[in-house]
């Protein structure tokens, strides 16, 4: 892939294609594999969303190009080639896939339910986690803490290939009779636990298995991250000299390690209910439908923070570099993340305010949930503080970071509505929650991720991404994103329930114009991602060759040569100070790499002001 | 454009006694979050413009401020705790059974959810459910205006959610459990009762109607129904 | 590694344990038809005919009008009635299946483009109310209503079928089944009042009485047979089938008089 790569490989044995690109043990290659894998799944998950957005905007209308004509729908007489094709398939004795899933090119309720279920499942488990935690965790942790590789390289490789296996199992679900899982990504029992309630047979089983396999992959990754961060930091790299992104990934790894076993047991119970005739979640068999929700959300809420914390970390790196300023309140940033992680274990009940859980519990869950606003606000104000009196460079990563901050503010504030249990009575299970989750995960994590891809691309591939394409992609995505998700707040307040196949079944016709607008924006948003893909793959081979430290950043990965050789550093670096020493008065440059000892102002003192806890 | 930003205006018309309290909380949170949002965005955009990169100007070396950290931590904590305290009575009033209003005039009805219909069972002249004079009507709930209506919510198969947007009432119906909720309609009319929890492929077609009658009309309906 | 192995083991055990999924749903217990243990299809020459009339005994109950509680703009255009007992002029009883219980060989099912196995849902009502469907034959559900219906077939021996038919889908095929069964109930879960019956039949010697109570079984190979009936509300004569003898080219008359099940 890169001519320079082999030069620095002199002292290593020649690697075959397979051991270098496929079953690689190198954390950087595994990170890149996760990146490509995540981007591919991102396209799949996005494509599914576009399909069901079509149905929401133009209910029961055939898809353009592949669907039947309107005349055929009205009159029943085949007029176009497509009509005849569908008619032929309809009369064939052998059922074909298209006929079964979207007869006539119309997205029926079963396929619709499978679409949104798989959209969320893919985006949550197979896109955001692999990209944020898999790609950036793998690539950045050893480089940023100053070590040669992960603690367990083989486990690391297995983690990637297990997640590929998970994706394969998940995708297989689309092609089994009965269709794919259609009980929502939350898979509420007993809808998910009794095949007859949905008509889905193997789809749901495969969904369970894929998630378990994916969880095993995450577990392997998280064990690796935790061990590596604890044991393999370079000399001088104390915990409070770790970059915030490493902190966030470290916390996320702990969350994953603790959260996954809970959902794995829930999924196993679900499989037993489906396949072995048990009734853990069936009331008539002595089971309890709410048990699933408790288990799922006990995992699910930490999972939501698993999705956002790395985004916060990535954004913190970029905002500091491009403001040329230390991050404002480094330690309070760390403690905010730790408290978010702690609080994430005691808020799961806010998903269940209307579920029939004892209503008296809601007070406790409402309070803990509201409390999460506090560390979130601290982080937001600290990002603003970082900008204050900075020297802001509007590079592509910085644009994404600023978008991240503002979108996260919207997502955080809309969360207060949901956290408030009386208000939640009305907006629970409406598009309001859809808007909220997308502002946090898409507006937040994914924008931070786009920025991070752009920011670390030079280190990953030794080349820059194209800035002009990056800006075009950013602006289209940013505007279209808001066009898609902001109106969802409104239709949610107006009573548009989520997960409905046809909004016109109920009294929502006055909102249909908004639905159409959302869908049009969604198509623009989807199309814009092609620009990103083109930019990524084109730049890998043709981009401007990158220098070692193009952004003039302090952290250790920029100390490593570009492209980064096997083993990362010629010599393990020694760390003299924190990661955010920008614009230090009196220094020659406006950045001081963590490895630089001269001119280091406060070597033996706490790094951040306000850090009295030491 | 402004209309799009005015969330409260999009709320469906309120027609229940406790709906007003919910709406007030909604409006309160709306204004708090709107002010915070505008303030944060103003600061963010202000900083972006003021502190943008200029040749020859160096950023200030500021590592943080303990005073500021404490200030905004304390301020946020006070606001969210205040909100939680304000919400508690509302929540208890709507959802905690021990605080439900109760009088002999109250109307009792059992709503049994099943894929993909609501069965409304009325207790009949004896006022008791589970007796022979019960009447079950599919999808149509008839209640008098200005009377407390107690709903016993059950489910046949999967989890459904009893949602009446105009009553500001939503409650999941669980198989194997009876959940009690109540409402008191303040306006006559016909309101939709959609299902708010995914219940299968017929989810979006699962729809009942709440018919709120004047006292006279309700008496007439009772007479016709039981003849 | 260990965790992975444990998970895989768990999955394998789960699959071994795997039995048929629990069939949830309202399976009404109705008496079933009696099918021959095996049936050999061939050609029949000079077959006989069994005809007759099915009558309702006693005072015919009035058909109950069904309340239309959903989509009245489509479903409410015509009145809908409970069709469990449909009695016509002269107490003629419609929708009774009359059939040969113990025939082991005879002709095969007629084939041809004109023979269609359909159930129409026009106006939110299944038509016909009782549908005979040869085993191995695809059923087509028609939906001219432009609103969503749901075809829920409560089979027990065969896989249950439960699928939506959106308003945009005029025709929906229902996969052919492999075993003789029935009659099984067909319902629409969206419109609770819609109900019909399907009998999956292994041989063609079945008939359903029409509005005049008449039925006709044709081309029966000469021989003696047990003649059975089935009616939704009146039950069956499985305990005491009628014996009939069919002569080559001959014709047998057999009338039935049915009353409501206890």
Domain residue spans of chain B: 2-98, 107-226
Does C19 contact A268 at a Cβ distance shorter than 8 Å?
A: no
A276 and C17: CB-CB below 8 Å?
Answer: yes
Predicted confidence (pLDDT) at residue C127 exceeds the cutoff of 80 = yes
User: Quick check: C47 pLDDT over 80?
Assistant: yes
Indicate which CATH number applies to the domain containing A287. Answer: 1.20.210.10
Alpha-carbon span A546 to A550, nearest angstrom: 7
Q: Which pLDDT tens digit goes with each residue over C211-226?
A: 999 999 989 999 999 9
- CA closest to B156 among chain C residues: C25
pTM for the full model?
Answer: 0.90
H helices within B9-144, ranges in order? 19-50, 66-95
Domain over C36-68+84-106+205-262 is classified CATH 2.60.40.1120: yes
- Distance between B176 CA and the closest CA of chain C, angstroms: 14
A444 Cβ contact list (under 8 Å, min separation 6): A308, A311, A312, A404, A407, A408, A411
**pLDDT (0 to 100) of residue A79:** 86
Which one, of C208, C157, C141, C154, lies nearest residue C185 by Cα? C154
In the CATH scheme, what is the code of domain B107-226?
2.60.40.420
Q: Do B172 and A356 touch (CB under 8 A)?
A: yes
Q: Give the residue among C185, C24, C14 at the shortest CA–CA distance from A202.
A: C14
Assigned superfamily of C109-202: Cupredoxins -  blue copper proteins (2.60.40.420)
* Structural domain containing residue A288: 3-61+106-542
Q: What is the pLDDT, as a whole number, of residue C239?
A: 86
DSSP for A179-212 reads -B--STTTT-TTTTT-HHHHS-SHHHHHHHHHHH
Q: Residue A105: list chain C partners with CB under 8 A.
A: none
- What is the spatial distance between Cα A174 and Cα A176, in angstroms, rounded to a whole number? 6
Q: Which residue has the tokens 């200005």?
A: B146
Rounded mean pLDDT, A486-511: 92
Please, what is the average pLDDT of chain A? 90
What would the pLDDT profile of B113-162 be if each residue is shown by its tens digit?
A: 999 999 999 998 888 888 888 999 999 999 999 999 999 999 999 999 99
| Residue A204 belongs to a domain | yes
Mutating which of A291, A347, A357, A425 best tests the B interface, going by the most B Cβ atoms within 10 A? A425
Per-residue pLDDT at A331: 94
Among chain A residues, the shortest Cα distance to C8 is held by A213
- Please state whether the peptide bond connecting residue A160 to the residue before it is cis, i.e. omega within 30 degrees of 0: no
Contact B209, B191 (CB under 8 A): yes
Is the Cβ pair C24, A196 closer than 8 Å? yes
- Euclidean distance between CA atoms B145 and C218, whole angstroms: 64
Which of A275, A280, A285 is the best mutation test for C, with the most CBs of C within 10 A? A275
Q: Which chains share 3+ C-beta pairs under 8 angstroms with B?
A: A, C
The residues pairing with C253 across neighbouring beta strands, listed in sequence order, are C51
Q: pLDDT digit string (tens) for A462-483? A: 999 999 999 999 999 999 999 9
Of all residues in chain A, the one with the smallest CA distance to B86 is: A420
Q: Of A598 and B158, which is predicted with more confidence?
A: B158
Nearest to B159 among A289, A374, A389 (CB): A289
- CA gap A610, A614 in Å, rounded: 10
Residue A609's contacts (CB-CB under 8 Å, 6 or more residues apart) are A329, B63, B64, B65, B66
Q: Domain residues of chain C, as ranges?
A: 36-68+84-106+205-262, 109-202
DSSP state of B201: T
Closest CA to C238 of C226, C228, C246, C225: C228
How confident is the model at residue A5, as a pLDDT? 44
Given the candidates 3.40.50.300, 1.20.810.10, 1.10.287.90, 3.40.50.720, the CATH classification of the domain at B2-98 is: 1.10.287.90
pLDDT at residue A609 is higher than 70: no
CB contacts under 8 A, C 10-49 vs B, are: 24-25
Number of structural domains in chain A: 1
Interchain contact, A213 vs C7, CB within 8 Å:
yes
CA-based nearest residue to C68, from C152, C143, C21, C125: C125
Q: Does residue C21 register a pLDDT over 70?
A: no
B32 touches chain C (CB under 8 A): no
What would the mean pLDDT of A72-80 be, rounded to a whole number? 81
Please indicate whether, in this complex, the C-beta atoms of B201 and C163 are within 8 angstroms of each other. yes
Chain C contact residues (CB < 8 Å to A): 1, 3-4, 7, 10-11, 14-15, 17-19, 21-25, 138, 148, 160, 162-164, 166-173, 175-176
Q: Would the CA dihedral through A417, A420, A424, A430 be positive or negative?
A: positive
Instruction: Sort out which chain C residues have CB atoms less than 8 A from B157's CB and list them.
Output: 24-25
With a cut of 90, say whether residue A196 has pLDDT above it: no
Residues B56-107 pLDDT 10s = 888 899 888 999 999 999 999 999 999 999 999 999 999 999 999 999 889 9
């Amino acid at each position: 892939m890169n001519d320079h790569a082999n030069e620095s490989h002199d002292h290593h044995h020649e690697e075959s294609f397979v051991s270098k690109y496929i079953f690689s043990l190198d954390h950087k290659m595994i990170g890149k594999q996760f990146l490509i894998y995540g981007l591919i799944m991102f396209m799949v998950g996005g494509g599914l969303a576009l399909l069901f957005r079509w149905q929401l905007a133009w209910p029961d209308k055939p898809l353009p190009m592949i669907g039947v004509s309107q005349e055929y729908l009205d009159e029943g007489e085949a007029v176009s080639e497509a009509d005849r094709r569908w008619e032929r398939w309809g009369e064939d004795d052998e059922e074909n896939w298209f006929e079964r899933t979207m007869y006539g090119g119309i997205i029926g309720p079963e396929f619709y339910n499978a679409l949104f279920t798989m959209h969320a499942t893919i985006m949550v488990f197979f896109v955001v986690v692999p990209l944020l935690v898999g790609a950036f965790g793998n690539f950045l942790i050893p480089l940023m803490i100053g070590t040669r590789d992960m603690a367990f390289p083989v486990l690391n490789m297995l983690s990637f290939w297990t997640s590929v296996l998970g994706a394969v199992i998940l995708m297989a679900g689309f092609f089994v009779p009965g269709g794919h899982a259609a009980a929502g990504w939350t898979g509420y029992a007993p809808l998910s636990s009794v095949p007859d309630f949905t008509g889905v047979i193997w789809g749901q089983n495969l969904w369970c298995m894929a998630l378990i396999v994916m969880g095993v992959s995450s577990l392997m990754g998280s064990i690796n991250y935790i061990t590596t961060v604890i044991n393999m930091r370079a000399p001088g790299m104390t915990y409070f000299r770790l970059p915030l992104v490493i902190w966030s990934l470290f916390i996320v790894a702990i969350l994953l390690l603790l959260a996954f076993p809970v959902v794995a047991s829930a999924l196993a119970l679900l499989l037993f209910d489906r396949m072995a005739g048990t009734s853990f979640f069936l009331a008539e068999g002595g089971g309890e439908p709410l048990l699933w929700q408790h288990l799922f959300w006990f995992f699910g809420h930490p999972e939501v923070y698993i999705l956002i914390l790395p985004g916060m970390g990535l954004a913190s790196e970029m905002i500091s570099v491009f403001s040329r300023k230390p991050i404002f309140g480094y330690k309070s940033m760390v403690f905010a993340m730790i408290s978010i992680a702690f609080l994430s274990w005691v808020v799961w009940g806010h998903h269940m305010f209307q579920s029939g859980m004892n209503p008296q519990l809601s007070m406790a869950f409402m309070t803990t949930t509201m409390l999460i606003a506090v560390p979130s606000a601290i982080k937001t104000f600290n990002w603003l503080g970082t900008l204050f009196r900075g020297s802001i460079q509007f590079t592509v990563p910085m644009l994404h970071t600023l978008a991240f901050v503002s979108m996260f503010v919207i997502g955080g504030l809309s969360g207060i509505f949901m956290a408030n249990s009386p208000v939640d009575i009305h907006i629970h299970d409406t598009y309001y929650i859809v808007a909220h989750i997308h502002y946090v995960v898409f507006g937040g994590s994914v924008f931070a991720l786009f920025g991070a891809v752009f920011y670390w691309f030079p280190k990953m591939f030794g080349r820059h991404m194209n800035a002009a394409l990056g800006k075009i992609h950013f602006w289209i995505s940013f505007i279209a994103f808001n066009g898609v998700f902001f109106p969802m707040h409104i239709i949610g307040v107006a009573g548009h329930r989520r997960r409905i196949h046809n909004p016109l079944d109920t009294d929502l016709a006055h909102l249909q114009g908004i639905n159409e607008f959302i869908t049009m924006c969604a198509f623009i948003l989807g199309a814009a991602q092609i620009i990103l893909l083109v930019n990524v793959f084109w730049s890998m081979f043709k981009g401007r060759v990158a220098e070692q430290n193009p952004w003039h950043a302090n952290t250790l990965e920029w100390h490593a040569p570009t492209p980064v050789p096997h083993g990362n550093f010629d010599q393990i670096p020694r760390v003299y100070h924190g990661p955010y020493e920008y614009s230090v008065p009196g220094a020659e440059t406006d950045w001081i790499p963590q490895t630089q000892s001269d001119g280091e102002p406060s070597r033996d003192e706490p790094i951040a002001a306000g850090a009295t806890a030491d | 454009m402004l209309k799009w930003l005015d969330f409260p205006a999009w709320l469906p018309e309120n027609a229940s006694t406790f709906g007003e309290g919910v709406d007030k909380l909604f409006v309160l949170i709306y204004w708090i979050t709107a002010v915070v949002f505008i303030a944060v965005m103003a600061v963010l955009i202000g900083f972006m413009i003021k502190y943008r990169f200029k040749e020859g100007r160096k950023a200030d070396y500021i590592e943080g401020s303990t005073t500021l950290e404490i200030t905004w931590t304390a301020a946020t904590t006070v606001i969210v705790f205040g909100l939680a305290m304000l919400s508690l009575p509302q929540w208890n009033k709507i959802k905690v059974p021990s605080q439900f209003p109760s009088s002999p005039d109250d109307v009792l009805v059992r709503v049994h959810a099943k894929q993909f219909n609501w069965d409304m069972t009325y207790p009949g002249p004896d006022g008791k459910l589970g007796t022979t004079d019960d009447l079950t009507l599919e999808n149509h709930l008839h209640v008098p205006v200005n009377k407390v209506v107690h709903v016993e919510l059950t489910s046949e198969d999967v989890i459904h959610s009893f949602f009446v947007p105009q009553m500001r009432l939503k409650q999941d119906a669980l198989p194997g459990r009876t959940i009690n909720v109540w409402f008191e309609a303040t306006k006559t009319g016909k309101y939709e009762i959609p299902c708010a929890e995914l219940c299968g492929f017929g989810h979006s077609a699962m729809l009942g109607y709440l018919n709120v009658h004047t006292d006279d009309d309700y008496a007439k309906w009772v007479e016709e129904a039981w003849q | 590694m260990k965790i992975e192995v444990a998970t895989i083991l768990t999955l394998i055990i789960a699959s071994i344990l795997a039995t048929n999924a629990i069939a949830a749903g309202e399976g009404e217990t109705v008496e079933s038809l009696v099918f021959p243990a095996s049936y050999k299809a061939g050609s029949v020459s000079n077959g006989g005919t069994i005809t007759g009339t099915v009558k309702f005994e006693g005072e015919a109950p009035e058909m109950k009008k069904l309340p239309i509680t959903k989509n009245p703009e489509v479903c409410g255009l015509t009145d809908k009635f409970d069709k469990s007992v449909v009695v016509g002029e002269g107490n003629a009883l419609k929708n009774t299946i009359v059939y040969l219980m113990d025939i082991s060989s005879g002709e095969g099912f007629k084939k041809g483009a004109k023979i269609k196995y359909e159930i129409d849902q026009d106006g939110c009502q299944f038509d016909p109310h009782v549908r005979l469907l040869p085993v191995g034959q695809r059923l087509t559900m028609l939906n001219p209503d432009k609103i969503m219906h749901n075809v829920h077939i409560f089979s027990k021996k065969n896989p249950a079928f439960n699928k939506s038919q959106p308003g945009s889908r005029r025709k929906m095929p229902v996969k052919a089944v492999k075993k003789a069964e029935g009659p099984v109930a067909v319902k629409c879960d969206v419109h609770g009042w819609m109900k019909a019956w399907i009998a999956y039949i292994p041989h063609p010697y079945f008939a359903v009485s029409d509005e005049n109570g008449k039925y006709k079984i044709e081309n029966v190979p000469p021989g003696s047979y047990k003649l059975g009936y089935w009616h939704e509300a009146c039950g069956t004569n499985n305990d005491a089938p009628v014996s009939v003898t069919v002569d080559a080219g001959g014709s047998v008359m057999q009338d039935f008089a049915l009353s409501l099940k206890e």
